Amino acid sequence: MMMTSRVMQAARCPTDELSLTNCVVVSEKDGFQSGQHVIVKTMPNHKYVFTVRTHQAVVPGTIAFSLPQRKWAGLSINQDVEVSPYNFEKSKQYVGTMTIEIDFLQKKTADSNPYDSDKMAAEFIQHFNSQAFSVAQQLVFSYCDKIFALQVKEIEAMDPSILRGEQGSSKKQKIEIGLMHGNSQVIFEKAENSSITLVGKAKSRGARQSIINPDWNFERMGIGGLDKEFSDIFRRAFASRVFPPDIVEQMGCKHVKGILLFGPPGCGKTLMARQIGKMLNAREPKVVNGPEILNKYVGESEANIRKLFADAEEEQKRLGANSGLHIIIFDEIDAICKQRGSMAGSTGVHDTVVNQLLSKIDGVEQLNNILVIGMTNRPDLIDEALLRPGRLEVKMEIGLPDENGRVQILNIHTAKMRQSNMLSGDVDVKELAIETKNYSGAELEGLVRAAQSTAMNRHIKASAHVEVDTEKAQRLQISRSDFFASLNNDIKPAFGTNQEDYSSYIMNGIVKWSNAVSEILGDGELLVQQTKNSDRTPLVSVLLEGPPHSGKTALAAKIAEESQFPFIKICSPDKMIGHSEIAKCQAIKKIFEDAYKSQLSCVVVDDIERLLDFVPIGPRFSNLVLQALLVLLKKAPPQGRKLLILGTTSRKDVLQEMGMLDTFSTTIHIPNISRGEHLMEALELLGGFQEKERAVIAKEVKGKGVWLGIKKLQMLIEMALQMHPEYRVNKFLALLREEGALGSDKHVTI
């Protein structure tokens, strides 16, 4: 590379084609390299910066200028000029925005056709990437087979904060000389007295700067709760595209070509993918629904894939590294990218579609100007070859929003009501966010809609005709009570607490007939706190074991309810009646997989021996279900998630033989009522019998052994209470004896 200045003679540009490059042309023998920048001094105070191109037609010792360049620099042929290398101070001299005046080069070629300044700007940047530009510079530009005369009016430096992916400052710095690169913004303005017709955004000052729009705002885009995910995607997928291309090239860095967004339905995957296109200063993304690709004719599905990539391929061949970014979004990508060979008896269409997609993203003729975004809530179905680095390498879980995320989402969906003064002052978005644990973004939107419907319903007169009270409707306000009515009745989270499930187990409350019951609840509270607070034990599992009817399920449901975890599910045998072994395994697995999606989860595995189909005779139990439970009870939840498992069983001995007892962190014994005073305590707490009646019962049970579960006791009391008051006590004692719960010897206590 030439390091010192030297005197050279000005010459004419050898070809018209070279005149359109905006470069000065020199001989390779003079030690220049294409792409380097030089400063040309014509007089002591007149200096001009150009980008160099080498060509064999140029005589050594001369430097060739096009007519617009000679006109701008006031050069004549054979004039001596001093040429020396010029180095850009890149952090300060990158072109952020450049305003250019445009007109037809020759008036006779003028026409009235509209020219899209956005497309023109993209073409301009791709043609003149990495070139030097100065204010007042004149050049020619070929577009749509027409030659245009351009003059640089103003150059603003790129804000360095944009290179770091931050929001740009509003203060703009004007510069005299700048280096054009792929993330620059070009604004075309019509020259005075010109007849050219310009359309598009880039003819005005309101245009975006850089590949990232510095004014992007999640709330304005309608996205909430995904700040961290967006910043992670930005870091992995766009940092290399925002950075100056020459630095990226020096690092040998390749752009990320694919992102996979996965997670529960309604959490914003599709919304996020669509907004990525708006956030980037790129052409409108192509959005494809997975099933649309498939076609019944042989080869058509693969042709559909090829069509999606055709524009990107054509542009890469034409413009190489200067090609713009093409975004292709596949919604429900699992429909077309299933594991190859998994579709037994199929025609193999899925397999060839996967092959075609793999070869397009990262095949032999790989494209570097594409970004493929795939979305699915079943990442397990996708062919693993598609998920390796170089293809869909950025895998991002779009999970359920946390409390701050829910505040953002609710603010977005209530923004219009707030602006129109239709949201009552008693609506506290933070309170709603606390109450809506495990709600997805879609469910929160549904909650706002339901609250609006509840409020509107108040202003509808239900007479012979359905009429709206227009006078009151003008003063419509959506209040806190509307939201809470919708919260309790209309919208329930898919991955939330099914209160109907566990409330039925504790409808009669917990009877604390002895200190043992309080201690069990205290131990349960400790386990809940351990699950919440301990980083070392993200999985805590406890087995509540005891005789039948001792209230194990009720105690497990009570511990689960008092934990206030956002996800509580009961895995109960009554939900799986008639299920085959495989269907039962899948149902249990789904409960656990849903639990992993929440930050804090509690799963009650009720009546384990029933889930296992255990009987003491014949085929003893289901080994498939046993193996599934053994795996799931020991499987730790994903990073950052916590899980509490509460199991219940009446056959501890059976679980011991099956090797299941060791899978639980700890075991809590639930006792039966075994002493007369405990029985009397339970009778008093349960009510039903009067004090005189309880005295008779106390006399009868005194000194006798008792063996009875609290659940069975409740049943016996209710049966006895159906009798005439005179016979109730005798009936109750008779029922106790029939059950064998009342011993005759005072020493018989178990």
More confident position, 215 or 623? 623
Q: 249-253, 441-445, 563-567 — which is least confidently predicted?
A: 249-253
Phi-psi category of residue 599: left, alpha or beta, with phi > 0 → left and psi -120 to 50 → alpha: alpha
698 touches 676 (CB < 8 A) = yes
| pLDDT beyond 70 at 296 | no
Q: 23-32, 212-221, 306-315, 512-521 — which is least confidently predicted?
A: 212-221
Give the tens place of pLDDT for each residue, 38-55: 999 887 778 899 999 999
Confidence (pLDDT) at 64: 93
Gap between the Cα atoms of 520 and 514, Å rounded: 11
Q: 79-83, 278-282, 311-315 — which is least confidently predicted?
A: 278-282
Q: What token pair was written down for 43? A: 């007089």
Confidence (pLDDT) at 226: 73
Mean pLDDT of 165-176: 66
| pLDDT beyond 60 at 204 | no
Confidence (pLDDT) at 206: 36
Gap between the Cα atoms of 271 and 691, Å rounded: 66
Gap between the Cα atoms of 605 and 34, Å rounded: 72
Mean pLDDT of 210-237: 64
Q: With bands split at pLDDT 50, 70 and 90, how would you rate the model's confidence at 65?
A: very high
Confidence (pLDDT) at 750: 30
Gap between the Cα atoms of 283 and 304, Å rounded: 20
Confidence (pLDDT) at 364: 65
Confidence (pLDDT) at 207: 36
- In this structure, the dihedral spanned by the alpha carbons of residues 742, 744, 745 and 748, taken in order and rounded to 10 degrees, is -30
Strands (E), 463-574: 466-468, 539-545, 567-571
Specify the DSSP class assigned to residue 296.
Answer: S
Phi-psi category of residue 688: left, alpha or beta, with phi > 0 → left and psi -120 to 50 → alpha: left
Gap between the Cα atoms of 573 and 610, Å rounded: 6
Closest by Cα among 707, 735, 710 to 722: 735
| pLDDT beyond 90 at 608 | yes
8 touches 63 (CB < 8 A) = yes
Confidence (pLDDT) at 91: 66
| pLDDT beyond 80 at 257 | yes
Residue count of the chain: 750
Mean pLDDT of 607-614: 90
More confident position, 318 or 620? 620
Residue ranges of the alpha helices (H) in 363-489? 403-419, 429-435, 441-457, 470-473, 480-489
Residues identified as active-site: 552-553, 606-607, 634, 711
Gap between the Cα atoms of 470 and 456, Å rounded: 11
How crowded is residue 142: how many other Cβ atoms within 10 Å of its Cβ? Answer: 15
In this structure, the strands spanning 80-85 and 370-376 are: unpaired
Rounded to two decimals, what is the model's pTM?
0.60
| pLDDT beyond 70 at 211 | no
| pLDDT beyond 60 at 347 | no
Closest by Cα among 555, 561, 715, 531 to 648: 555
Place of tokens 């030659």: 147
Closest by Cα among 396, 709, 376, 317 to 550: 709
| pLDDT beyond 50 at 22 | yes
Q: With bands split at pLDDT 50, 70 and 90, how would you rate the model's confidence at 359?
A: confident
Confidence (pLDDT) at 224: 63
Mean pLDDT of 471-475: 69
Domains parsed from the chain with CATH numbers: 6-85 (2.40.40.20), 95-199 (3.10.330.10), 218-397 (3.40.50.300), 403-490 (1.10.8.60), 499-669 (3.40.50.300), 674-739 (1.10.8.60)
Mean pLDDT of 164-189: 75
Confidence (pLDDT) at 163: 52
Q: With bands split at pLDDT 50, 70 and 90, how would you rate the model's confidence at 749?
A: very low
- What distance lies between CA 476 and its chain's CA centroid? 35
Confidence (pLDDT) at 582: 92
To the nearest whole number, what is the mean pLDDT of the chain? 82
Please spell the DSSP secondary structure of 346-368, one letter per residue: S-SHHHHHHHHHHHHHHSTT--S
Mean pLDDT of 580-605: 90
Q: For 353, list phi and psi in degrees, rounded to 5.
A: -65, -45
Give the tens place of pLDDT for each residue, 416-428: 888 888 888 888 8
Confidence (pLDDT) at 279: 67
Residue 220 C-beta-side C-alpha neighbours within 13 Å? 6
Confidence (pLDDT) at 486: 84
How crowded is residue 16: how many other Cβ atoms within 10 Å of its Cβ? Answer: 11
Three-state SS letters, 581-604: HHHHHHHHHHHHHHHHCCCEEEEE
| pLDDT beyond 50 at 17 | yes
Query: Which helix (H) or strand (E) element contains residue 644?
Result: strand 642-649
Gap between the Cα atoms of 500 and 561, Å rounded: 11
Closest by Cα among 547, 521, 509 to 648: 547
